[in-house]
Structure 1
Amino acid sequence: MQNPAFLDPGLHRRLVDGLYLEAMVMADEARTYFDGSASLDDGIDDPLRRVAFACESLKVTTRLMHIIAWLLSQRAWQRGEIDRIDMADDKYRLGRASETDADLSASFPFAARALIDASQELYGRVARLQDRLDAMGSATAAAVASPARALLDRLNTAF
């Protein structure tokens, strides 16, 4: 269960804002590079390599859009537009994105490889953040659901 409420709100906001800025800058760089004009100058003239290159540009774009959508849902939760309970819904989770074959990307120009690697690294960081939020929510939910915890809480409030 994803539950950002168990993370300090200020820290959560700074993490989300920083990642959002990074994702938006990277999306702009990817759009500029993969729009065709820059990639045509990088010597990708073999038709099969062009198809592979186009597929990789779509993977980068998909990764970045999944990241941005997840971050926007986190921002919506911060503003109170999405309830904490609703955040567990799959539509607010980080979408699945395909990884790039390292052997294939090795044949691409440096700029393309840099964007591919950076998008995969950013996706990995966001996925780890989501996993961490899930673990924090699960640990807190388990502590709340524990009969021993409930008894300790009752004792603490009684005395």
Structure 2
Amino acid sequence: MPPRRDGTVTVPFRKKSGQPDAFLGLFREGMSLVEATANYLDGPGRRESKCLPPQIALCYATESMRLTTRLTQLATWLLARRAVMNGEPMPPSGSANDPQQLPPMTRPAGSKGFESLPQQLRDLIEAGYRLHDKVCRFDGAERGVVIVAAHRHNAVASQVAQLQAAFGQ
């Protein structure tokens, strides 16, 4: 299913996953990234941010908030997915509490000062993007559809998505 006009990607859950081991690996990776990010931001990252020039410190604050928001959204998806695999009921699709809705993800195009941020923060940001991509690919593989990532412009993938929409796949 292609992204909606607002860039969101709907990810329907299934009661029984055909790939429980693959999901559990993805789940562990996601939770590990959340923990590593929290440890960095509360420890070395906090100390490093105090030594940055004001403009770079602002970029640090902005990017760390974006990262924590992204990881919170992905952790919510992973936890909801695990709950469904364990047979727990979920809110109806489309409701305000619907964890099936992945938010759009955009990579900032050259945030001012991004290259001056500490390398460990930049690595965590990139890992967050990769995790989002993996979640979308995992879901697409289970449903047998092509997921068009909202943060990339890919003419071929968008054409495939249009064909799928036109022919009801």
What TM-score range do you get, normalising by the shorter chain?
0.5 to 0.7
Q: Percent identity?
A: 24
2:121 paired residue number: 112
2:24 paired residue number: 17
2:133 paired residue number: 124
Distance 1:97 1:32, change over 3 A: farther
Q: Distance in 1 between matches of 2:79 and 2:14?
A: 13
Distance 1:96 1:31, change over 3 A: same
TM-score between the two structures when normalised by the length of structure 2: 0.64
Q: Secondary structure at the match of 2:74?
A: helix
What letter matches 2:69 in structure 1? T
1:92 paired residue number: 99
Could you say which structure has the higher helix fraction?
1
Number of aligned residues: 134
Q: Secondary structure at the match of 1:76?
A: helix
1:64 paired residue number: 71
Q: Secondary structure at the match of 1:106?
A: helix
**Does structure 2 conserve the Cα–Cα contact (< 8 Å) formed by 1:59 and 1:97?**
no
**Does structure 1 conserve the Cα–Cα contact (< 8 Å) formed by 2:74 and 2:132?**
yes
Unaligned 5+ runs, structure 1: 144-159
How far does residue 40 in structure 1 lie from its aligned partner after superposition? 3.0
What letter matches 1:4 in structure 2? R
Unaligned 5+ runs, structure 2: 1-10, 146-163
How far does residue 53 in structure 1 lie from its aligned partner after superposition? 0.7
Distance 1:55 1:36, change over 3 A: farther
TM-score between the two structures when normalised by the length of structure 1: 0.68
Q: Secondary structure at the match of 2:38?
A: helix
Aligned with 2:108 (options 98, 101, 115): 101
Q: Distance in 1 between matches of 2:41 and 2:21?
A: 30
Distance 1:112 1:68, change over 3 A: same
Q: Distance in 2 between matches of 1:7 and 1:23?
A: 18
Note the aligned Cα RMSD (angstroms). 3.1
Q: Distance in 2 between matches of 1:49 and 1:6?
A: 46
**Does structure 2 conserve the Cα–Cα contact (< 8 Å) formed by 1:70 and 1:93?**
yes
How far does residue 16 in structure 1 lie from its aligned partner after superposition? 2.1
What letter matches 1:115 in structure 2? L
